[in-house]
Amino acid sequence: MLNISFWYYLLGSMSISQSSAAPKYLQEDEIVPECKDLLSTLPKEKGWAEPHLYKYQGFWYPAWQFQGVLECQQHFQAQDTDILLVSAPKCGTTWLKALAFTIINRNSHSIDDPGKHPLFYNNPHDLVHQIELESHIDNPIFNPSSPRLFATHLPYISLPKCAKNSECKLVYICRNPKDTFISLWHFMNELRLNHLASISLEVAFDKFCRGVSIFGPFWDHVSDYWEESRKRPNKVLFLKYEDMKEDPNLHVKRLAEFFGVPFSIEEATSGVVDGIIKLCSFENLSKLKVNKDGKLPSGVENKTFFRRGGVGDWKNYLWPVMVERLDYLTEEKFQGSGLHL
């Protein structure tokens, strides 16, 4: 069994590089022996912002992240009232965390006095924790009152069995693969290890298309949750980032309904929904001091999570041949599924 104090060590050992916002991640030779032995048996390729990515249960992880995945699978205990926010990286995770936290806690943290709201003093990632990083740690902050709200980037196959088999609810958010790739490329270059050069757009693009990206392949990640949402719509709510940007009012109401805390008529008519949308908007959160100057416990600067937040940024980067390849892959992967991105 893996040492559950690992993430205490990891969070305490990360530091900011003098030359960039990149955290100093645990080196591969510092991984605990049990994990290292398993890693040695797995397929590996050169990573984007780390020496290697390892393929486990069909998806790719850096060594430090992989150890967290194993610990999560062994130790996380889902409760029937839990809510789990799920996404592939750079698909709207930060926004969804802010919205979900605010919707669920709107009675205890009113938006009527937004200057006192936790989002003014905490990055959304500080308020909703990733189960593959830290939720299994025996710490009161990870055991809030019901419903507990967590997040994960884990593919469906790698979720702890208790999360699949319990009555806990999953909210999955996906995004157009072209914008996802561009956002991921920028993000991973910010997080690269000090001794590694930036990964070029062309090299990263080829890896992404081959599925070799953190928590990738992207299309498999999305399609597995899409299929689960069709089989069990009461358990898995599937959202598209672009649809949420187009009609946030509708989707905030959908989230509240799915969480079991629908808005009352009084709330709907008094501007509560619009207030939540404004509070959690990219425009608002990106201007807050905590998200300009703050850092996560890992050492990652909060501003790293607020680059653009829009739709269609891929048009500024991708060549026509790249667009054609991504569109072909997307059509091929989702053919016959009823899903269109």
Active site residues: 153
User: Is the bond leading into 217 cis (omega within 30 degrees of zero)?
Assistant: yes
Q: How many CA atoms are closer than 13 Å to the CA of 56, on its beta-carbon side? A: 24
DSSP letters spanning 283-312 = HHHTTSHHHHH-B-TTS-BGGGG-S---S-
| Alpha-carbon torsion, ordered 210, 213, 219, 222, to 10 deg | 170
Q: H-helix or E-strand containing 61?
A: strand 59-61
Q: Which residue has the tokens 């270059």?
A: 189
Alpha-carbon distance values, 260 to 234, 235, 255 (Å): 11, 12, 9
Q: How would you classify the pairing of strands 149-152 and 169-174?
A: unpaired
